[in-house]
Chains A and B, each alone.
Chain A
Amino acid sequence: MSLELKEVEKKVGIETHIYSTNLKLEKNTINVLLGSTLAGKTTLMQIMAGLDKPTSGEIWFNGENVTGKEVQKRNCSMVYQQFINYPNFTVFDNIASPLKITGINSDEIKKRVGKVAELLKLTTMLNKKPDELSGGQQQRTALARALVKDSDLILLDEPLANLDFKLREELREELPKLFEDRDCIVVYATTEPLDALMIGGNTATLLEGNVVQYGKTLDVYNKPENLTSAKVFSDPPMNIAEINKSGDKFTLTDNNVQWTSNVNIKDGNYKIGIRPHNITTYKEGSNSVEINGKVLISELSGSESLIHFTNGKLNWVSLSNGIQQRNIGEDTKLHMNVDEFLYFDQSNRLVNHG
Chain B
Amino acid sequence: MNFYILIKATDWLIMAKITLKKLSHSYLANQNNDADWALRGVDIDWKDGGAYALLGPSGCGKTTLLNIISGLLKPTEGEVLFNDKDVTTLNPVERDIAQIFQFPVIYDTMTVYDNLAFPLKNRGLSDTEIDSKVREIAEMLELTSTLNNRASGLTADGKQKISLGRGLVRSDVNVIMFDEPLTVIDPHLKWVLRSKLKELHQKINRTMIYVTHDQIEALTFADQVVVMHEGQIVQTGSPVELFEKPKHTFVGHFIGSPGMNILPCEIKNGQINFEGKILPTNTSFKKTNFNKTQVGIRPEFINFSNDGIQVKIKRVSDTGRHKVIDTECKSGSIKILASANTEIPTGSTYISFDQKYTFAYGDNWIIE
Interface residues in chain A, defined as those with a beta carbon under 8 Å from any beta carbon in chain B? 36-37, 134-135, 164-167, 169, 173, 176-177, 191-192, 194, 197-198, 200, 218, 221-222, 235-237, 275, 277, 296-297, 299-303, 306, 308, 317, 323, 328-329
Residue of A nearest to B55 (CB): A165
CB of B220 within 8 A of CB of A306, answer yes
Most A-side CB within 10 Å, residue of B188, B194, B219: B188
Residue of A nearest to B199 (CB): A297
CB of A237 within 8 A of CB of B57, answer no
CB of A296 within 8 A of CB of B199, answer yes
B13-21, B249-257, B276-284: which lies at the A interface?
Answer: B249-257
- When chains A and B are docked, how far (Å) is the Cα of A302 from the Cα of B321? 17
Interface residues of B in 316-340 (CB under 8 A from A): 317-321, 324
CB of A169 within 8 A of CB of B239, answer no
In the bound complex, residues from chain A placing their C-beta under 8 Å from that of B148 are: none
B96 on the A face (CB < 8 A): no
A166: contacting residue among B57, B198, B320, CB under 8 A: B57
- When chains A and B are docked, how far (Å) is the Cα of A237 from the Cα of B258? 22
CB of A301 within 8 A of CB of B259, answer no
* Number of residues of chain B lying within 8 A (CB) of chain A: 42
B242: contacting residue among A164, A165, A236, A302, CB under 8 A: A302
In the bound complex, residues from chain B placing their C-beta under 8 Å from that of A303 are: 243, 256, 298, 300
- When chains A and B are docked, how far (Å) is the Cα of A317 from the Cα of B216? 16
- When chains A and B are docked, how far (Å) is the Cα of A36 from the Cα of B191? 14
Q: Give 10 CB contacts A-B under 8 Å.
A: A37-B186, A166-B57, A167-B57, A169-B258, A218-B318, A297-B195, A299-B220, A300-B240, A301-B219, A301-B239
Most B-side CB within 10 Å, residue of A36, A164, A173, A221: A164
Interface membership of chain B positions 176-201, coded 1 if the CB is closer than 8 angstroms to chain A and 0 otherwise? 00000000001110010011001100
Residue of B nearest to A200 (CB): B317
B358 on the A face (CB < 8 A): no
Do A221 and B239 contact each other (CB < 8 Å), given the known contacts A297-B198, A300-B220?
A: no
- When chains A and B are docked, how far (Å) is the Cα of A329 from the Cα of B4? 14
In the bound complex, residues from chain B placing their C-beta under 8 Å from that of A300 are: 219-220, 239-240
- When chains A and B are docked, how far (Å) is the Cα of A12 from the Cα of B188? 27
B213 on the A face (CB < 8 A): yes
- Distance to closest chain A CB from B257 (angstroms): 6
In order of increasing CB-CB distance, the 8 nearest A-B pairs are: A302-B243, A299-B220, A197-B319, A301-B219, A164-B213, A165-B214, A300-B239, A221-B320
- Distance to closest chain A CB from B223 (angstroms): 9
In the bound complex, residues from chain A placing their C-beta under 8 Å from that of B186 are: 36-37, 191
B187: contacting residue among A134, A164, A169, A191, CB under 8 A: A191
B191: contacting residue among A166, A198, A236, A328, CB under 8 A: A236
A328: contacting residue among B188, B202, B213, B254, CB under 8 A: B202
CB of B187 within 8 A of CB of A192, answer yes
Interface residues of B in 230-245 (CB under 8 A from A): 239-240, 242-244
